[in-house]
Amino acid sequence: VFNFSSGPAVLPESVLRQAAEEMLDWHGSGMSVMEMSHRGPQFMAILDEAQSLFRELLGVPDDYRTLFLQGGAIGEMAIVPMNLLGAKTSIDFVNTGTWSSKAMSEAGRYARINEVASSAATAFDRIPAFETWRLDPDAAYVHICSNETIGGVEYHWTPDTGDVPLVADVSSNILSAPLDVTKFGLLYGGAQKNVGPAGLTLVVVRDDLLGRALPITPCAFDFAQQSDNGSMLNTPPTYAIYIAGLVFRWLKAQGGLVAIEALNLRKAGLLYDTIDASGGFYVNPVAVADRSLMNVPFRLPDARLDAPFLAEAEALGMVQLKGHRSVGGMRASIYNAMPVEGVQRLVDHMLDFARRHG
């Protein structure tokens, strides 16, 4: 089937086949990766390769640490303020939907939250224009969500926040296109969309932001301590790191982020063109410039058509297209590992369905 889940999501088939082959006996070790000590030479080699491929793919400069942690993106929404607040008392947030709102409520337990811009008034259908952001030069950092997985709203530009570090939740678009890491103080994200299985959390943090964790910060979530210990202060999510390493290899073989972005643009273009040419049968409410390349929500003209649309899609081998319960309709998540053929099949179904019901 073609799996359009928003995450945990589709992974490259070749990666899963290799993992299946190596499941019981990794490279003649007689062990599954799941059974290895995280400090043994075999797993250390897996971790080192995953780390260096991740840095190479994303172009992480030498003055940034890359941490492979547990806790998920929602965990990071609390862990990041604990680590970056230092002597500051407030954080600037740009609110573009469900996940930025969640980040605000989590951080609100540790700091004063300053909503510097919001698209709530237009039902989170866009990224607020940078000129309207009321940034505070004294904020600990500015937080954005680079891709709102539920609303399907994505930054296709990077704000310049000057001396105040920019922090982004990149859970649902990391490694989908080139990113200039130097414009950010910190990036964080769960792995379960573009990177690998749930359980692995990625943090990329600039060196100068380390070492200011609040005393209440658990050691497992203190970035400086984790950095000093090579993400091994506690047991890292070993199997998820192994799969992520295979995904990184796959992504490099695809031609890296420039090549995958071209493919992602093609896939998203197929869907948005179909929606926009449907004469209003399918509707995507997001401002054209801010439409997500990863998550494409769309509504049908009558919610009573949702069930037949989904049932027919499933019969045609397309699953997990139901939209998030908070917005309804459909959502096609088309992460890196979704082949063009999957999107083409969905477009064919959409055209055929609209012909019969339009």
- CB contact at 8 A, 299 and 281: no
* Residue ranges in 129-168 that form contacts with ligand PLP under rule CB under 6 A: 145, 149
Contact characters 172-201, ligand PLP, x per CB under 6 A: x-----------------x-----------
d(CA 181, CA 80): 17
Nearer to ligand PLP, 73 or 181 (CB): 73
Residue 7 lies near ligand PLP (rule: CB under 6 A):
yes
Part of the chain binding ligand PLP (CB under 6 A), chosen from 38-46, 70-78, 213-221, 225-233: 70-78
Could you give the C-alpha distances from 261 to 161, 256, 258, 336, 337, in angstroms and in order?
A: 25, 9, 5, 9, 12
**Which member of 3, 5, 161, 171 binds ligand PLP (CB under 6 A)?**
171
Beta bridge partners of 246: none
Identity at 325, one-letter amino acid code: R
Say which residues have a Cβ less than 8 Å from residue 317's Cβ, sequence separation at least 6. 1, 2, 345
Active site residue 267: no
**Could you tell me whether strands 2-3 and 318-319 are parallel, antiparallel, or unpaired per DSSP bridges?**
parallel
Query: Is 358 in a helix, a strand, or coil?
Result: coil
**Among 332, 256, 243, CA closest to 4:** 332
125, 193, 250, 322: the catalytic one is 193
Q: How far is residue 80 from each of residues 142, 213, 223, measured CA to CA in Å?
A: 12, 9, 9
The residue among 278 and 292 lying less far from ligand PLP, judged by its C-beta, is 292
Q: For the CB of residue 94, give the shortest distance to ligand PLP in the complex, in Å.
A: 13
Q: What is the C-alpha to C-alpha distance for residues 288 and 270, in angstroms, rounded to an integer?
A: 14
- To the question of whether residue 226 is assigned a binding role by annotation, the answer is no
Told to judge if 169 belongs to the known catalytic residues of this protein, a careful annotator would answer yes
Query: Segment near ligand PLP (CB under 6 A), from 68-76, 135-143, 236-244, 251-259?
Result: 68-76
As measured in angstroms, the least distance from the Cβ of 145 to ligand PLP is: 5
Answer for which of 92, 154, 169, 290 binds ligand PLP (CB under 6 A) is 169
Q: Which residues are catalytic?
A: 99, 169, 193
Q: What residues are designated binding site?
A: 6, 39, 99, 149, 169, 192, 234-235
**Contact footprint for ligand PLP (CB under 6 A):** 7, 72-74, 99, 145, 149, 169, 171-172, 190
